[in-house]
Amino acid sequence: MNGLETVDPLSHFNCHKTLFKMQLTPIGSNQTEVETADARILFSYRTPVAAYVFGEGYVKTSTWYSSTTSRHINKWGARDAKEVDQKFLDNLA
Protein backbone atom coordinates (compact mmCIF):
# COMPACT_ATOMS: atom_id res chain seq x y z
CA MET A 1 0.00 0.00 0.00
CA ASN A 2 1.13 3.52 -0.71
CA GLY A 3 -0.60 5.04 2.30
CA LEU A 4 -3.37 6.58 0.20
CA GLU A 5 -6.86 5.54 1.18
CA THR A 6 -9.42 4.85 -1.50
CA VAL A 7 -12.67 6.67 -0.75
CA ASP A 8 -15.98 6.23 -2.53
CA PRO A 9 -16.86 9.79 -3.67
CA LEU A 10 -20.57 9.02 -3.26
CA SER A 11 -20.30 7.57 0.24
CA HIS A 12 -21.37 10.89 1.80
CA PHE A 13 -24.53 10.91 -0.29
CA ASN A 14 -25.26 7.21 0.14
CA CYS A 15 -25.39 7.51 3.92
CA HIS A 16 -28.17 10.11 3.62
CA LYS A 17 -30.27 8.06 1.21
CA THR A 18 -31.25 5.76 4.04
CA LEU A 19 -32.57 8.73 6.02
CA PHE A 20 -34.94 10.09 3.36
CA LYS A 21 -35.87 9.11 -0.15
CA MET A 22 -36.99 12.06 -2.30
CA GLN A 23 -40.26 11.39 -4.10
CA LEU A 24 -41.26 12.84 -7.47
CA THR A 25 -44.97 12.66 -8.35
CA PRO A 26 -46.55 13.99 -11.56
CA ILE A 27 -49.94 15.36 -10.44
CA GLY A 28 -51.28 16.92 -13.64
CA SER A 29 -50.39 18.39 -16.97
CA ASN A 30 -47.18 20.39 -16.41
CA GLN A 31 -47.51 19.93 -12.63
CA THR A 32 -45.15 17.92 -10.48
CA GLU A 33 -44.86 17.50 -6.73
CA VAL A 34 -41.49 16.80 -5.15
CA GLU A 35 -41.24 15.76 -1.53
CA THR A 36 -37.99 16.33 0.32
CA ALA A 37 -37.13 15.97 3.99
CA ASP A 38 -38.14 19.62 4.54
CA ALA A 39 -41.16 20.22 2.30
CA ARG A 40 -43.56 19.10 -0.38
CA ILE A 41 -42.89 21.37 -3.38
CA LEU A 42 -45.16 22.14 -6.33
CA PHE A 43 -43.50 22.64 -9.68
CA SER A 44 -45.43 24.32 -12.48
CA TYR A 45 -43.63 23.40 -15.67
CA ARG A 46 -40.01 23.38 -14.42
CA THR A 47 -40.31 26.05 -11.73
CA PRO A 48 -40.98 25.58 -7.99
CA VAL A 49 -43.96 27.86 -7.32
CA ALA A 50 -45.43 26.73 -3.98
CA ALA A 51 -44.61 24.46 -1.08
CA TYR A 52 -45.96 22.91 2.06
CA VAL A 53 -43.08 23.41 4.48
CA PHE A 54 -43.32 20.81 7.24
CA GLY A 55 -43.99 22.49 10.58
CA GLU A 56 -44.79 25.86 8.95
CA GLY A 57 -47.54 25.40 6.36
CA TYR A 58 -48.16 26.55 2.80
CA VAL A 59 -46.13 29.21 0.99
CA LYS A 60 -46.29 30.41 -2.61
CA THR A 61 -44.12 32.51 -4.86
CA SER A 62 -44.65 36.26 -4.97
CA THR A 63 -43.53 36.19 -8.62
CA TRP A 64 -46.21 36.26 -11.34
CA TYR A 65 -45.65 33.67 -14.06
CA SER A 66 -48.94 33.06 -15.88
CA SER A 67 -52.64 32.39 -15.43
CA THR A 68 -51.94 28.68 -15.85
CA THR A 69 -49.32 28.67 -13.10
CA SER A 70 -51.70 30.60 -10.83
CA ARG A 71 -54.35 27.94 -11.46
CA HIS A 72 -51.82 25.23 -10.58
CA ILE A 73 -51.04 26.98 -7.27
CA ASN A 74 -54.71 27.52 -6.41
CA LYS A 75 -55.77 23.99 -7.36
CA TRP A 76 -52.92 22.57 -5.26
CA GLY A 77 -54.33 24.33 -2.18
CA ALA A 78 -51.96 27.25 -1.78
CA ARG A 79 -54.39 30.02 -2.87
CA ASP A 80 -54.26 31.79 0.51
CA ALA A 81 -50.68 30.82 1.33
CA LYS A 82 -48.09 33.25 2.61
CA GLU A 83 -46.17 34.78 -0.31
CA VAL A 84 -42.40 34.29 -0.31
CA ASP A 85 -39.59 35.38 -2.59
CA GLN A 86 -38.92 32.98 -5.47
CA LYS A 87 -35.39 32.41 -4.11
CA PHE A 88 -36.90 30.76 -1.02
CA LEU A 89 -38.65 28.16 -3.20
CA ASP A 90 -35.58 27.73 -5.41
CA ASN A 91 -33.54 26.92 -2.30
CA LEU A 92 -36.07 24.31 -1.12
CA ALA A 93 -35.81 22.37 -4.38
Q: How far apart are the first and last CA of the chain?
A: 42
Asked whether the beta carbons of 86 and 74 are under 8 A apart, the reply is no
User: How far, in whole angstroms, is CA 57 from its chain's centroid?
Assistant: 14
Q: In whole numbers, what is the pLDDT of the chain averaged over residues?
A: 87
Task: Give residue 93's pLDDT.
Answer: 85
Containing H/E element for 81? none
Q: Does the pLDDT at position 6 exceed 70? A: no
Residue 10 has pLDDT above 70, yes or no: no
Looking at residue 86, the DSSP 8-state letter turns out to be: H
Summarised one tens digit per residue, pLDDT across range 40-81 is: 999 999 999 999 999 999 999 999 999 999 999 999 999 999
> Which of helix, strand or coil describes residue 47?
strand
C-beta of residue 13 within 8 angstroms of C-beta of residue 20: no
